[in-house]
């Protein structure tokens, strides 16, 4: 349940790759030597580790099309636990090297194998693997913030904080916690409130007005093909985020999610570890099961004792009968022109009040657009600066008919440049929709302000909100081949 | 100064060996400790200084005694550090823990480790700390972590303190209860394990353990410790599923004490961070598994909370619980639920990609209640195709996810496929490959190309027998190749691997035949494509069952000027590509029928190709083809390929023109497996700086009497930088013991030396004309030019030729240069006699006694009889003696060490001991002098029998 070493690598545009931080846990290494016996492989020095990792991740020799050790079809890197083949006098295989990467950072750690090393044990028998993943993910968020935007200076200052952060979260190779995001909470005065214990995940105590904020966000994804042979797909998942400022060492709060009378049950529910207890009925509905209409459909009660920082109380998926916007997209190639025809239809159950709604039509791997002779029935049409993308802004509302259309011709000439995307070539093309609808959910799920209960002396202020946003919402050209297998499978 | 340290420490952690080659571990450790004791150094720098000790304690403390001393030093630093520097004190505790554990001082229960243990126990119990501010609490938390690490590495260390630790945990209301709980759980687990190993241990012992009463029964065994049997079992996790057997402790039904400890830990587990909670649950799972009278149901109250969690490590600890207890905690219904949950988690949109991949791996190694077999990757029985369909790969997945899902679905449909080959799932997988292929066709990135070929391999691996798909795939790949010839290396690799791994299938030959057909029926060629076509055809020509007529007509087409300008261009690489195909055809089984066209092609190349090298090779092949019999030809051409076959191609430049050819093995330098010869120090007379300094008695005494003047004359000699700058060592070059008759006679040996540190200038290569096993060994002279005259180790390699004309490269065993091998007599002017040297000695002595700059004096004492001392002087000091050997009361010895260091000894016999007064102008030599004197005097103490 420990890790032998930890590395943080930054890569800028593939070229400048370097180890920015590393830490070896010598006492764990000492145990590794005893546990592995004759199959022990020492952790090589930094430069070797870097080279081996890049090869395994397929990032070495970026300018060569084929490198045997990197690209052999027999070899399947078993992410997230890679094996590094160490050469030289200390020959052997380092396994399981956990690696996660995001943006400019690659984080890696090598968990201790605390079961007999031969034959190779399954990953699932090593608790250190999931612990290592949790630690790496925590460090990643600490270094990059929740977005993945590389922020040079911020990164440098956070890297400089790592030694003291590791002293708290992983002093001797045993991960204890993930780094705190904000500044460390001011040390609290020891409480004299009897013998109630302060949770280890709570860094301090709140003093002042009690406020509970519960925000429900649903995300909808879709793949629409407009074809008989292919079933359109869509799915919805929701997240309940909370920020609770409540007094007390271990205050009790209860949030209740409820569905409309005929709503389909929430599925695949995952809860934050601060939830104190769960009713078994909450966990029964699952998206991989045959849907059972008689299944439990709420109200979903989540009793918990909140940490100080904002957290994700629970998440779920839901099966809704129709997608919020149904589209059709047709392209016809004629001479040097492309005939475009698009219809988007808002489903009547969806509130016609958007924060934004935009359709993007990329035309990659082609010459630049020269003449765009396209009419839209509603909204505003723009061409991107690079002349390979149409942006159709629909604004805050669909018209009364709930339907908008685009019709016209585009011709292409001029130098080819801009992005090339193998998913968007010739008639293999798509529209991607971006929208956000405040104060609604597709599943109908809601958190009533009055259903939030806080068991404490002061009466808290309670704020609830909900919204729907789109992600990966594709409408494929129905006259071309969508690069997706047909068949009865899910998104 | 601060930046300097930051740089040095980061250089050390980047590459400790390279860093230490510029200094010694001993010196670096001394520097670190000095700086740590220095009051002027800031504490942020001091924290930095501790990191080498934390990360590489064994490099800096190579022996237990150094570890012990370092520990004592660090403990005194700790004692003197003001309490407000909490961060530094915490890091100091970590460094101490690392040093003690890694040097095995802790497992040996050394004095210092006992002191440290007491210190830690005192910190965690200190009542003053409980009411002070939170920052001091972090010292206490770190101390707990250190104790936990000590217990983890020396199991049983704290088994007598379980009650104490439990008490501390229960009283604690601040967040400190977490480190206490973690410590208590581990100690409990190790103690119970220890009991399972004791014969006859039972409920009484367990009770005593928990109550803190040390029962006499196993008190006696305490010191032996658990680790002394060098068995790693106690360090291993006990949860191994159906492979492992958990040692058990028979206690009878009554286990009240243990049960109450467990309940209390479990009840409060919710208050721990998920990471600590998972570790705690895992340890308790082990404890309950070892004590059969505690029912696993003790965990039941936690299960729902754990199964619903979004935290990967908490769910994982639940899976491990399932693995440990199977149906004694989880019903068949629970099992189905958990599996479904895993499928959900493997594709849950709210989880990260690595987490999902981990869960997918858990499905492949699902701990079933009733496992059927324990193969490497086997699917749980309950995973139906319908359930698995949620994990179907899509083109929007990242590569790792895509391949994992592809593999999993293949496994699912492999079972289904046997019943119904027309299965929808298989259809889906094939279509998925087609979608990927379209993306590759449309110019997918390198990553997608590699992913595609891996997916194709997986598909073939599982379904090569389903002809409908495997033939379709061949066709599609051929089409793909013609549009994207640069994919040739991928296709060749795919053919190689499928042939290798799917020996029962002929798919690879089918693919290669189809590719040959596609290539040879092309009517138009671009130069760029020809390169790939030739590579492809070379691979095709390796297959004996594929007829090569078409390949030959393609070759003759390619070299026809009207068709392509290949011959005109005289491109060496392209020429080699053509020759590569020809060479394989020369050994093709159907050569007889290819003879005439192949000869034509070779002749044409020999005449018309505008590159002499290619012409030469073509001519050679032509001659071989037309003059040798089939058998001989095959024999000549196969030489060299026989060793490894296709799979291990030598990646040398010469191989790019004609691998496997006999010529190559002559051109290539081979590597010996073992060392063939070694260098051993030649027994020689005491070293002289040069022969002509032989005592010129007549001209002697022509030197200044006065010490300073003598020194001046002496030092003037060094204006010539090459003066006395080298030490010449003689070595014998001799065969090692291994007997390989190929290497009995070696010629043109060239020795190449490499340094392991920076203390010496680079050595030139040395040539030796020959080395015969039966003849006397030749002597070689190593001319070492020290920068610092420290002991060192030289790496050596050699290139030589054997009688059969092959060239070899071999490693020579390392050469260790001892400190005393760098000693030379004083390089005084040749006109000087004994008195001059004595004056110089006095002058140097006086200077060194001021201890200015690098100078230092020291004293070494030992007990030696007079006779022993005399023998010692005769044996070791004679050629360095400056004083009159007959003057026994004080002997003066001077060692000169290039480039310009001196070690002066005044040896006197006192009543109790012999005193060696040492003076040197380079204090860094002192440790080496010490160990040298220790070695030679120790050898003298026990007289030879």
A481 is a domain residue: no
Whether B349 sits inside 8 A of A221 (CB atoms) is yes
CA distance B305 to B270: 9
Query: Of the segments B336-350, B413-427, B518-532, which one has the largest average pLDDT value?
Result: B336-350
CA distance B513 to B408: 31
Same domain, A145 and A41: yes
Comparing alpha-carbon positions, the chain A residue that sits nearest to B312 is A130
Mean local confidence (pLDDT), A393-412: 94
Q: Is the predicted pLDDT of residue A387 greater than 90, yes or no?
A: no
Confidence of residue B646 (pLDDT cuts 50, 70, 90): very low
DSSP string, B701-713: T-S-SSHHHHHHH
Q: How far is B55 from chain A (nearest CA, A)?
A: 5
* Residue pLDDT, tens place only, B11-25: 999 999 999 988 889
CATH for A253: 2.60.40.1170
Mean local confidence (pLDDT), A376-382: 94
Q: Specify the pLDDT at position A418.
A: 66
Q: Specify the pLDDT at position A293.
A: 60
Q: Is the predicted pLDDT of residue B243 greater than 60, yes or no?
A: no
* Residue pLDDT, tens place only, A89-118: 778 899 999 999 988 899 999 999 998 888
Same domain, A300 and A343: no
Out of B134, B153, B447, closest to residue A27 by CB = B153
Q: Specify the pLDDT at position B702.
A: 59
Q: Which residue has the higher pLDDT, B509 or B253?
A: B509
Q: CA-based Rg of chain B, rounded to a whole angstrom? A: 39
Whether B308 sits inside 8 A of A472 (CB atoms) is no
Comparing alpha-carbon positions, the chain A residue that sits nearest to B6 is A160
Q: Is B76 left (phi over 0), alpha (psi -120 to 50) or beta?
A: alpha
Q: Which residue has the higher pLDDT, B710 or B390?
A: B390
Q: Specify the pLDDT at position A14.
A: 56
Q: Specify the pLDDT at position B134.
A: 62
Q: List A256's β-bridge partners, or say none.
A: A301
CA atoms within 13 A on the CB side of A441: 27
- CB contact at 8 A, B262 and B287: yes
Confidence of residue A422 (pLDDT cuts 50, 70, 90): confident
Q: Specify the pLDDT at position B758.
A: 84
Q: Which residues on B lie below 8 Å from A123 (Cβ)?
A: 358, 361-362, 365
CA torsion, ordered A88, A93, A98, A101, to nearest 10 deg:
40
Least confident of A382-391, B569-578, B875-884: B875-884
Q: Is A148 on the interface with B (CB under 8 A)?
A: no
CA distance A162 to A150: 17
A376 is a domain residue: yes
Same domain, A318 and A335: no
Candidates B275, B405, B484: best to mutate against A (most CBs of A within 10 A) is: B275
Mean local confidence (pLDDT), A242-249: 91
- Tell me the ipTM for this assembly: 0.95
Q: Specify the pLDDT at position B512.
A: 97
Q: Are strands A81-86 and A92-102 parallel, antiparallel or unpaired?
A: antiparallel
Q: Is A199 on the interface with B (CB under 8 A)?
A: yes
Q: Is the predicted pLDDT of residue A299 greater than 50, yes or no?
A: yes
Confidence of residue B666 (pLDDT cuts 50, 70, 90): low
A200 is a domain residue: no
Same domain, A410 and A456: no
Confidence of residue B695 (pLDDT cuts 50, 70, 90): very low
Candidates B274, B280, B309: best to mutate against A (most CBs of A within 10 A) is: B274
Same domain, A399 and A455: no
Q: Which residue has the higher pLDDT, B366 or B134?
A: B366
CA distance A85 to A52: 7
CA distance A405 to B294: 70
Whether B102 sits inside 8 A of A27 (CB atoms) is yes
Percentage with pLDDT > 70 across chain B: 89
Whether B493 sits inside 8 A of A71 (CB atoms) is yes
Q: Is A34 on the interface with B (CB under 8 A)?
A: yes
* Residue pLDDT, tens place only, B33-42: 999 999 888 9
- CB contact at 8 A, B149 and B116: no
Mean local confidence (pLDDT), B292-319: 95
Mean local confidence (pLDDT), B519-525: 90
Whole-number average pLDDT of chain B: 85
Q: Is the predicted pLDDT of residue B419 greater than 70, yes or no?
A: no
Least confident of A180-184, B521-525, B630-634: A180-184
Q: Is the predicted pLDDT of residue B651 greater than 60, yes or no?
A: no
Same domain, A137 and A51: yes
Same domain, A401 and A427: yes
Q: Is A42 on the interface with B (CB under 8 A)?
A: no
Same domain, A53 and A168: yes
Mean local confidence (pLDDT), A318-342: 92
Q: Which residue has the higher pLDDT, B346 or A146?
A: B346
Q: How far is A122 from chain B (nearest CA, A)?
A: 7
Contacts of residue A385, Cβ cutoff 8 Å, sequence gap at least 6: none
CATH for A150: 3.30.450
Cis peptide before A299 (omega within 30 of 0): yes
A180 is a domain residue: no
Q: Is A318 on the interface with B (CB under 8 A)?
A: no
Report the SS3 class of residue A224.
strand
Q: Is A20 on the interface with B (CB under 8 A)?
A: no
Q: Specify the pLDDT at position B127.
A: 58
Same domain, A165 and A218: no
Which secondary-structure segment (H or E) carries B3?
helix B2-14
Same domain, A304 and A396: no
CA distance B879 to B902: 15
Query: Domain range for residue A448?
Result: 211-322+442-474
Whether A46 sits inside 8 A of B13 (CB atoms) is yes
* Residue pLDDT, tens place only, B762-773: 888 899 989 998
Same domain, A344 and A282: no
A204 is a domain residue: no
Q: Specify the pLDDT at position A96.
A: 93
Mean local confidence (pLDDT), A449-459: 86
Nearest to B507 by CA among B520, B496, B521, B516: B496
Q: Specify the pLDDT at position B474.
A: 97
Whether A199 sits inside 8 A of B270 (CB atoms) is yes
Confidence of residue A147 (pLDDT cuts 50, 70, 90): low
- CB contact at 8 A, B105 and B143: no
Nearest to B940 by CA among B838, B871, B854: B871
Q: What values do phi and psi take at B225, rounded to 5?
A: 65, 165
Q: Specify the pLDDT at position B223.
A: 46
Confidence of residue B167 (pLDDT cuts 50, 70, 90): very high
* Residue pLDDT, tens place only, A7-66: 999 987 656 889 999 999 999 999 999 999 888 999 999 999 999 999 999 988 888 899
- Dig out the tokens for A137 from the structure: 């993910």
Q: Specify the pLDDT at position A307.
A: 93
Contacts of residue B226, Cβ cutoff 8 Å, sequence gap at least 6: B154, B155, B156, B190, B193, B194, B197, B234
Q: Specify the pLDDT at position A385.
A: 83
Q: Specify the pLDDT at position A230.
A: 81
Q: Is A89 on the interface with B (CB under 8 A)?
A: no
Q: Which residue has the higher pLDDT, A261 or B649?
A: A261
- CB contact at 8 A, B223 and B109: yes
Q: Is A201 on the interface with B (CB under 8 A)?
A: yes
* Residue pLDDT, tens place only, B539-582: 999 999 999 999 999 999 988 887 778 888 888 889 999 999 99
Least confident of A69-78, A144-153, B482-491, B622-631: A144-153
Q: What share of chain B is helix, strand, coil (3-state, %, to 5)?
A: 60, 10, 30
Q: Is the predicted pLDDT of residue B159 greater than 70, yes or no?
A: yes
Same domain, A432 and A470: no
Whether B501 sits inside 8 A of A66 (CB atoms) is no
Domain count, chain A: 3
Percentage with pLDDT > 90 across chain A: 63
Confidence of residue B648 (pLDDT cuts 50, 70, 90): very low
Confidence of residue B479 (pLDDT cuts 50, 70, 90): very high
């Amino acid at each position: 349940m420990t890790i032998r070493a930890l590395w943080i690598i930054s890569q800028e545009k593939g070229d400048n790759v370097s180890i920015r931080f590393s830490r070896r846990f010598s006492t764990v290494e000492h145990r590794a030597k005893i546990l592995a016996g004759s199959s022990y492989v020492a952790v090589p020095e930094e430069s070797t580790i870097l080279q081996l990792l890049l090869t395994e991740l397929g990032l070495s020799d970026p300018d060569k099309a084929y490198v045997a050790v990197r690209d052999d079809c027999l070899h399947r890197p078993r992410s997230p636990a890679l094996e590094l083949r160490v050469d030289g006098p200390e020959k052997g295989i380092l396994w399981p090297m956990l690696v996660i990467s995001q943006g400019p950072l690659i984080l890696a750690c090598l968990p201790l194998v605390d079961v007999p090393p031969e034959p190779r044990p399954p990953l699932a028998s090593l608790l250190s693997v999931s612990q290592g993943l949790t630690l790496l993910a925590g460090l990643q968020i600490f270094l990059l913030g929740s977005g993945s935007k590389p922020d040079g200076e911020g990164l440098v200052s956070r890297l400089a904080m790592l030694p003291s952060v590791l002293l708290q979260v992983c002093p001797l190779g045993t991960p204890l916690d993930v780094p705190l995001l904000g500044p460390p909470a001011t040390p609290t005065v020891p409480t004299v409130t009897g013998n109630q214990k302060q949770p280890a995940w709570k860094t301090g105590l709140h003093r002042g007005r009690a406020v509970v904020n519960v925000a429900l966000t649903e995300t909808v994804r879709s793949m629409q093909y407009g074809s008989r042979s292919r079933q359109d797909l869509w799915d919805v998942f929701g997240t309940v985020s909370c920020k609770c400022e409540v007094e007390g060492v271990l205050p009790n709060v209860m949030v209740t999610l409820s569905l409309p009378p005929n709503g389909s049950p929430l599925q695949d529910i995952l809860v934050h570890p601060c939830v104190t207890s769960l009713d078994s009925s909450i966990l029964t509905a699952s998206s991989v099961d045959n849907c059972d209409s008689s299944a439990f459909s709420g109200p979903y009660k989540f009793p918990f004792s909140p940490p100080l920082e904002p957290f994700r109380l629970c998440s779920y998926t839901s099966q809704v009968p129709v997608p919020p916007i149904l589209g059709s997209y047709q392209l016809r190639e004629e001479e040097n022109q492309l005939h475009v025809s698009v219809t988007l239809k808002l489903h009547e159950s969806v509130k016609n009040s958007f924060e934004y709604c935009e359709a993007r039509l990329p035309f990659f791997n082609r010459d630049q657009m020269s003449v765009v002779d396209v009419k839209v029935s509603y909204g505003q049409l723009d061409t991107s600066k690079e002349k390979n993308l149409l942006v159709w802004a629909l604004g805050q509302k669909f018209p009364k008919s709930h339907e908008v259309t685009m019709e016209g011709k585009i011709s292409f000439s001029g130098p080819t440049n801009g992005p090339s995307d193998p998913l968007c070539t010739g008639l293999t093309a798509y529209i991607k929709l971006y929208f956000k609808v405040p104060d609604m959910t597709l599943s109908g799920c809601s958190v009533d302000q009055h259903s939030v209960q806080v068991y404490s002396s002061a009466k808290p202020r309670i704020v609830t909100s909900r919204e729907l946003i789109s992600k990966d919402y594709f409408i494929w050209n129905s006259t071309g081949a969508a690069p997706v297998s047909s068949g009865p499978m899910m998104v | 100064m601060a930046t300097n340290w930051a740089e040095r420490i980061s250089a050390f952690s980047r590459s400790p060996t390279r860093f230490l080659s510029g200094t010694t571990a001993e010196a670096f450790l001394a520097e670190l400790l000095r700086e740590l004791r220095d009051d002027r150094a800031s504490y942020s720098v001091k924290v930095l200084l501790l990191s080498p000790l934390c990360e590489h304690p064994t490099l800096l403390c190579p022996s237990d005694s150094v570890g012990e001393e370092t520990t004592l030093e660090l403990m005194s630093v700790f004692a003197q550090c003001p309490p407000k520097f909490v961060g530094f004190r915490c890091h100091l505790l970590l460094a101490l823990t690392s040093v003690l554990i890694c040097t095995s001082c802790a497992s040996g229960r050394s004095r210092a480790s006992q002191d440290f243990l007491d210190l830690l126990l005192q910190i965690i119990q200190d009542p003053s700390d409980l009411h002070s501010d939170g920052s001091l609490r972090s010292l206490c938390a770190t101390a707990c972590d250190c104790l936990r690490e000590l217990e983890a590495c020396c199991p049983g260390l704290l088994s007598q303190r379980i009650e104490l630790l439990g008490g501390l945990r229960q009283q604690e209301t601040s967040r400190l209860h977490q480190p206490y709980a973690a410590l208590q759980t581990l100690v409990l687990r190790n103690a119970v394990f220890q009991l399972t190993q004791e014969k006859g241990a039972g409920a009484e012992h367990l009770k005593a353990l928990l109550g803190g009463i040390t029962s006499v029964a196993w008190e006696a065994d305490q010191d032996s410790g658990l680790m002394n049997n060098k068995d790693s079992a106690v360090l291993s996790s006990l949860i191994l599923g159906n492979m492992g057997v958990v040692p058990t402790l028979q206690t009878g039904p009554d286990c009240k004490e243990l049960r109450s400890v467990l309940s209390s830990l479990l009840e409060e587990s919710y208050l721990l961070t998920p990471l600590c909670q998972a570790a705690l649950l895992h340890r308790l799972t082990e404890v309950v598994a070892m004590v059969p009278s505690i029912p696993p149901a003790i965990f039941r109250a936690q299960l729902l909370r754990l199964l619903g969690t979004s935290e990967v490590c908490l769910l994982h600890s639940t899976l491990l619980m399932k693995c440990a207890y199977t149906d004694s905690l989880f019903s068949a219904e629970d099992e189905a639920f958990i599996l479904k949950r895993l499928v959900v988690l493997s594709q849950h949109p709210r989880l990260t990609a690595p987490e999902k991949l981990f869960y997918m791996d858990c499905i492949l190694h699902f701990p079933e209640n009733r496992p059927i077999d324990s193969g490497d990757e086997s699917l749980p029985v309950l995973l139906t195709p319908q359930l698995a369909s949620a994990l179907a790969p899509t083109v929007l997945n990242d590569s790792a996810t895509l391949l994992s899902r592809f593999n999993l679905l293949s496994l699912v449909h492999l079972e289904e496929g046997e019943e119904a080959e027309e299965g929808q799932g298989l259809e889906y997988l094939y279509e998925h490959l087609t979608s990927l292929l379209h993306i590759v066709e449309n110019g997918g990135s390198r990553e997608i190309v590699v992913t595609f070929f891996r997916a194709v391999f997986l598909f073939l691996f599982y379904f090569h027998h389903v002809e409908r798909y495997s033939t379709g795939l061949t066709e599609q790949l051929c089409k793909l190749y013609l549009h994207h010839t640069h994919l040739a290396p991928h296709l060749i690799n795919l053919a190689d691997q499928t042939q290798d791994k799917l020996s029962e299938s002929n798919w690879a030959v089918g693919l290669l035949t189809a590719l040959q057909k596609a290539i040879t029926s092309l009517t138009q060629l671009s130069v760029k494509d020809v390169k790939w076509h030739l590579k492809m055809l070379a691979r095709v020509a390796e297959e004996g069952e594929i007829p090569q007529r078409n390949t030959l007509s393609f070759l003759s087409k390619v070299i026809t000027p009207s068709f392509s300008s290949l011959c005109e261009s005289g491109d060496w690489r392209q020429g080699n590509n053509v020759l590569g195909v020809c060479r394989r055809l020369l050994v093709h089984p159907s050569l007889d029928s290819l003879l005439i066209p192949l000869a034509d092609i070779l002749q044409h190349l020999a005449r018309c190709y505008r590159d002499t090298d290619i012409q030469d090779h073509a001519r050679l092949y032509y001659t071989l083809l037309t003059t040798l019999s089939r058998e001989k030809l095959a024999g000549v051409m196969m030489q060299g390929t026989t060793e490894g076959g296709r799979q291990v191609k030598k990646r040398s430049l010469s191989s790019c023109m004609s691998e496997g050819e006999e010529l190559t093995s002559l051109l290539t330098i081979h590597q010996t497996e073992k060392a063939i010869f070694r260098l051993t120090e030649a027994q020689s007379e005491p070293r002289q700086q040069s022969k002509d300094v032989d005592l010129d008695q007549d001209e002697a005494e022509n030197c200044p009497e006065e010490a300073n003047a003598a020194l001046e004359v002496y030092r003037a000699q060094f204006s010539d930088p090459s003066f006395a700058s080298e030490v010449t060592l003689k070595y014998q070059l001799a065969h090692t013991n291994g007997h390989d008759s190929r290497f009995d006679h070696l010629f043109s040996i060239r020795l190449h030396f490499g340094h392991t540190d920076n203390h010496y200038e680079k050595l030139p290569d040395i040539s030796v004309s020959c080395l015969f096993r039966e003849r006397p060994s030749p002597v070689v002279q190593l001319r070492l030019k020290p920068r610092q005259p420290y002991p060192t180790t030289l790496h050596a390699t050699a290139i030589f030729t054997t009688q059969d004309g092959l060239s070899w490269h071999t490693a020579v065993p390392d050469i260790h240069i001892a400190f005393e091998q760098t000693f030379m007599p004083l390089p005084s002017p040749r006109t000087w006699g004994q008195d001059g040297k004595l004056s110089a000695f006095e002058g140097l002595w006086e200077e060194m006694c001021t201890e200015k700059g690098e100078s230092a004096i020291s004293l070494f004492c030992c007990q030696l009889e007079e006779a022993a001392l005399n023998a010692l002087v005769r044996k070791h000091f004679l050629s360095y003696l400056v004083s009159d050997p007959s003057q026994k009361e004080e002997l003066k010895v001077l060692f000169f060490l290039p480039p310009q260091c001196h070690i002066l000894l005044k040896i006197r016999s006192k009543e109790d001991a012999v005193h060696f007064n040492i003076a040197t102008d380079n204090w860094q030599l002192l440790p080496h002098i010490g160990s040298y004197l220790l070695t030679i005097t120790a050898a003298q103490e026990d007289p030879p029998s």
